[in-house]
Structure 1
Amino acid sequence: MSLTRLEAGLIRVKNDLDKVKSVNTDFENVLSEMKVLRKRAIANPETKQMISNEMKNKEILELFSSIESSFEELRTKLAKQTLEKQELMDFVESIRLKKNFSFDNSVQAISFVSTALEEMECSHVLLRPEFIGTIDLTELSVKLKLTKETNGVIVEQERIEEVLTYLLAKRQLRNLVLEAGSAKINFKSSHDIVVEAENDNIKELVKLKK
């Protein structure tokens, strides 16, 4: 399988999983309805007999048994895949050079980036817009006395929190890229970032995030 077909296959699986979530919600609603019937039947023998008689003209019991059987089959197949899936996940993580990180708030994201740069021993970074013309960093460079480059500003690692917090206050902490050697950190939003780095660095950042 080519990487393109592999990606397409994973997209299909993800889309199907979204459908499964909807099915699970629908089934939970059905189970809630059946719990109500069960309580009514237990509370009153006559009601139980009435429900039983009405069930004769419905496919409820057959449908429920069929669905439960399908769920059990799925659970069995997933259990068999667990070991192989873990081995494949280990492989995927061993070749990963890019990782998405999401945070509950912007403060956590900023703190993580500062620590990440320190962990990767980046003494300084080039801060630039992801897209040309989306933000003018001239004011930032003047206000915080940063060295201006053609496409961005140079920021020392120990000042990164200060600079990012300033941009956050200006509502400009998005679509920004921090580059340091082979490492790149992209702020998609103030609390969602994408990191590109060597695999060993990615692994360390995953541990840091936990």
Structure 2
Amino acid sequence: MSRVTAAAVLVAALVTLSGGSAAVSAPGALDQAHTAGRVTKQVQYTWPGVYFEGRFRGTSVGISLNDSTNYYDVQIDGRTVSTLTKPGRTTYWVRNLSNAEHRVRLAKRSESPWAVGEFVGFVAGSGGAVLSKPVARTRQIEFIGDSLTAGYGNMSTTRDCSTNGGVDRNTNADLSFGALTSRALNADYQINAFSGRGMVRNYGG
């Protein structure tokens, strides 16, 4: 058998083993979602104010997460449609949308310096497709601070949050002054702040 024939047989065998086509890796979460928050290459995070924005076509979209600690808002075309409470390892689906192009945004509301969350990616529903991610905004703003900057308890109607769900449920970094300022200026933002951790000294010394 000639070298050319042997090479052809080897290629044919490899194609047969792979099902007749080359394997294609699934796109990473950051390939399909725009973010400006403090996120690792593994798409893990602890800081508040982390958000992921994507585009898709179809009547439904799934949001895959691995996080048993945090609270998130799910937004479709600029409107909050659901709040996820410590979702765990899951894919949350938004269904019954118009069959058109939409924008999806996942915003981390709470702080979690003691626990790591992970964004796994957006998933298209039947007959739909995840589209290229939105481009980054021209303006980028970084906010450095403490609990005020993180939005600590900013959704509570009482000074004591213990009777209405606790601090985490009543915190929303996506409605902090930094997030609101950034949206007014059409800017991406990053929040470098944890409650109790000051720029000069921490809470309690």
TM-score range, shorter chain: under 0.3
TM-score, length of structure 2 as denominator length: 0.24
Structure (1 or 2) with the greater helix fraction? 1
Greater strand percent: which structure?
Answer: 2
Higher relative contact order (CA 8 A, sep 6+): 2
TM-score by length of 1: 0.24
